[in-house]
Structure 1
Amino acid sequence: MQEIINWSDEFLAGAMVIIQLFFVSLLMVIVWGLLGATAKLSNSRIARGIANGFTVLCRGIPEFLLLLIVYFGSAVTLTNIARSWDPEIRFMDIPPFWAGAFAISLVIGAYATETFRGAFLGIDKGLVEAAKALGLTRFQVFWRLRLPMMWRLALPGFGNHLLSLLKDTALVSVIGVQGILFTAQQATTVNHKPFTMYLTVAFIFLALSTVIVVTMKCIEKYAYRHLEAAR
């Protein structure tokens, strides 16, 4: 117990990094998911092809491997671009935090694409046709009808994506992001208590996961409140 207390400040700081990483990645996930789902449902073959390639690639490559490819690949690309302007530049890279957020958002965004696509397909076509008959533009139909109804249908699956996103944030320690797993690794080298340190990390992730589960249940209850009132 004393070992945990000694490292409590570091674990708290690491937890804050993980929470920040989670929310930044979440915004990206929503963007990738909406863009991917819209592209898959579009009439453009090119858009559908790009979206299909995105989901196959990002779901087929392990998260850990994709994280390394994005981090080191971006460093190589930026370095080569910078050297074309200034040969004296030796190395450039994206900050590990942003590289990690981008990489894990691609993976979860690919899964969210399929969840959103299924939710869009679950909307009653008669409601869309009725909205168009009332004179609503395509943008108004999407913003006022399809998007709100899609979110309601996507909530159960999206909650699972949030849990996966949270757990994937543990991977970014490998590229130097100082999250709670990174803190546990550092503490282990000092106190040689790996079981205690990693068990602490597990409890922190479990606590954060519980918050997500409870939050999603509250959101789902609010989203389906009209059904409860109709009973």
Structure 2
Amino acid sequence: MSMLDGWWDDFFFGLVTVLQVFSVSLVIAVVCGLLGASAKLSKSRVLRGIAQAYTIVFRGAPELLVLLLFYFGMAIALTQVVQLFDPSVKFIDLPPFWAGSIAIGLIVGAYMTETFRGAFLGVDRGQIEAARALSLKRHQIFRYVRFPQMWRLALPNFGNHMLSIMKDTALVSIIGLEEILFVAKMANSLIHRPFLLYMTVALIYLAITTVITLAVGWLEVRANRHLRGAR
């Protein structure tokens, strides 16, 4: 491991970048998932059609391809919009951090849409009817009845989506974001130890995904604790 001396700082800052991308992507994915699930369960055909198109596109296209199209496509689109107001602008480069985070969030959000939709459908209708009988308003029913029940049902798949986001952060090295895989590539060009470097990256990812798995497992136990008491 002495061959990695001088690179540990770079790996640390690369890890910080990975965690930042993960956090932003997770927020975007959850928001897109909830909005998509709500649209699919709505009575509006337009909203259902938009949500269906969203899930088909982002679940059907390869993730790396979506990332590249989003990175270069958004840069071109932003350039054209800005040029309408300032023709002197030649090109606007979209920051790799935001391009990667948004792309990963949209991709995983499409999967979360189906997870949340199924979880909402799994909520006992009797509980919702009982809440209405108690004169609870729609937002109160969602907050106190539907969302807690949906969250419990969605947790197992939600954990899988979190793992997917974490592993997908490795893709952003393709567009030049300096995360741990990017650092490993740069280090390998100098010390020529690909197995050591990429194994280091693998162990870092394994450590993070293990923490996520344990955290989700703890949340599942906590969310289902009332069921054990009912037995």
- Give me the TM-score of the superposition, normalised by structure 1: 0.98
User: For each residue in 1:137-164, what CA deviation from the matched residue of structure 2 results, as whole angstroms up to 9, or x when unmatched?
Assistant: 1111111110111000000010000001
User: Could you tell me which residue of structure 1 aligns to residue 208 of structure 2?
Assistant: 208
**SS where residue 89 of structure 1 aligns?**
coil
**SS where residue 141 of structure 2 aligns?**
helix
Deviation at 1:5, TM superposition (A): 3.2
1:6 maps onto 2:21 in alignment: no
Deviation at 1:23, TM superposition (A): 0.7
Deviation at 1:57, TM superposition (A): 0.2
**SS where residue 47 of structure 2 aligns?**
helix
User: Could you tell me which residue of structure 2 aligns to residue 115 of structure 1?
Assistant: 115
User: Could you tell me which residue of structure 2 aligns to residue 178 of structure 1?
Assistant: 178
Deviation at 1:93, TM superposition (A): 2.6
**Separation in structure 2 between the aligned mates of residue 167 and residue 33 of structure 1, nearest angstrom:** 19
Deviation at 1:225, TM superposition (A): 1.1
Whether the 8 Å contact between 1:67 and 1:104 is mirrored in structure 2 is yes
User: Could you tell me which residue of structure 1 aligns to residue 192 of structure 2?
Assistant: 192
**SS where residue 6 of structure 1 aligns?**
coil
User: For each residue in 1:171-222, what CA deviation from the matched residue of structure 2 results, as whole angstroms up to 9, or x when unmatched?
Assistant: 0011111100000010011101111111111000000000000000111111
Query: Which deviates more, 42-51 or 131-140?
Result: 131-140
**Separation in structure 1 between the aligned mates of residue 156 and residue 117 of structure 2, nearest angstrom:** 14
User: Could you tell me which residue of structure 1 aligns to residue 27 of structure 2?
Assistant: 27
User: Could you tell me which residue of structure 2 aligns to residue 52 of structure 1?
Assistant: 52
What is the identity, as a one-letter code, of the residue corresponding to 1:153?
A: L
User: Could you tell me which residue of structure 2 aligns to residue 144 of structure 1?
Assistant: 144
Query: Which deviates more, 85-94 or 123-132?
Result: 85-94
**Separation in structure 2 between the aligned mates of residue 65 and residue 210 of structure 1, nearest angstrom:** 28
Deviation at 1:95, TM superposition (A): 1.2
**Unaligned segments of structure 2, at least 5 residues:** none
**Separation in structure 2 between the aligned mates of residue 151 and residue 5 of structure 1, nearest angstrom:** 45
What is the identity, as a one-letter code, of the residue corresponding to 2:74?
A: S
How many positions carry a matched residue from both structures? 231
**SS where residue 195 of structure 1 aligns?**
helix
Q: Percent identity at matched positions?
A: 55
**Separation in structure 2 between the aligned mates of residue 43 and residue 83 of structure 1, nearest angstrom:** 40
What are the residue-to-residue correspondences of 1:156-171 with 2, within 5 Å?
156-171=156-171
Deviation at 1:87, TM superposition (A): 1.6
Whether the 8 Å contact between 1:4 and 1:200 is mirrored in structure 2 is no
RMSD of equivalent CA atoms: 0.9
Find runs of 4+ consecutive structure 1 residues off by over 3 angstroms: none
User: For each residue in 1:106-160, what CA deviation from the matched residue of structure 2 results, as whole angstroms up to 9, or x when unmatched?
Assistant: 1100000000000000001011011011101111111111011100000001000
User: Could you tell me which residue of structure 2 aligns to residue 219 of structure 1?
Assistant: 219
1:92 maps onto 2:54 in alignment: no
Whether the 8 Å contact between 1:37 and 1:117 is mirrored in structure 2 is yes
